[in-house]
């Protein structure tokens, strides 16, 4: 794992933002995303992702996905002291030309992540903290779920494929 930038500072409340690059089998994940989005079990155009999307927990039990997420967990746990948490959901998506992700937060998540599977000119933007992530194979961002983020319309001629996930606190009674 290569970390290209790491920020930990106060923005109305303390937040963290990490971006970098990781080795990933893009073909494996893109194939699974395409198959899911073409099936009857999908969330195409039903969420903030205004394009094809898998169900929310589609990759939760995927071995290759969990191996990648474990590297992120190790990084986050080294730098932060979050309450105990777990992988709440993980999904894949394709944003074709002229499709977008509306600006939103993952307000219930302790922290969230995105991993890109291919190169595309469409960037993930975090306007409140003036950060962005260019879509390249293996590019990723980890961030507090309350940070506003989204993508303007894809002006590229190619689709952008990605994976997203949320970590939630384990609630004890």
Each residue's pLDDT tens digit, 11-34: 568 889 999 999 999 999 999 999
pLDDT at 171: 85
- Answer yes or no: is pLDDT of 172 > 90: no
pLDDT at 10: 56
Identify whether the C-beta of residue 76 lies closer than 8 Å to the C-beta of residue 144: no
Interatomic CA distance for residues 173 and 165, integer angstroms: 25
Interatomic CA distance for residues 74 and 69, integer angstroms: 9
Question: pTM for the complete prediction?
Answer: 0.91
Interatomic CA distance for residues 3 and 141, integer angstroms: 10
Interatomic CA distance for residues 76 and 143, integer angstroms: 10
Per the DSSP assignment, residues forming a β-bridge with 5 are 19
Interatomic CA distance for residues 112 and 81, integer angstroms: 15
First to last CA, the chain: 37
pLDDT at 107: 87
């Amino acid at each position: 794992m290569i970390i290209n930038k790491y920020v930990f500072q106060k923005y109305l409340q303390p937040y963290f933002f990490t971006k970098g690059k990781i080795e990933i089998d893009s073909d494996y994940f893109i194939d699974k995303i395409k198959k899911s989005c073409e099936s009857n079990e999908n969330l195409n155009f039903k969420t903030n992702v205004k394009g094809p999307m898998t169900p929310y927990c589609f990759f939760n039990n995927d071995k290759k996905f969990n191996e990648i997420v474990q590297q992120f967990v190790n990084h986050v746990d080294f730098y932060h002291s979050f309450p105990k948490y777990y992988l709440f959901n993980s999904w894949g998506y394709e944003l074709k030309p002229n499709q977008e992700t509306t600006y939103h937060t993952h307000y219930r998540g302790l922290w969230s992540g995105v991993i890109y599977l291919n190169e595309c000119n469409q960037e993930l933007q975090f306007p409140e903290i003036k950060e962005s992530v260019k879509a390249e194979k293996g590019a990723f961002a980890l961030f507090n779920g309350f940070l506003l983020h989204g993508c303007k319309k894809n002006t590229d001629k190619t689709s952008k494929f990605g994976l997203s996930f949320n970590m939630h606190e384990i609630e004890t009674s």
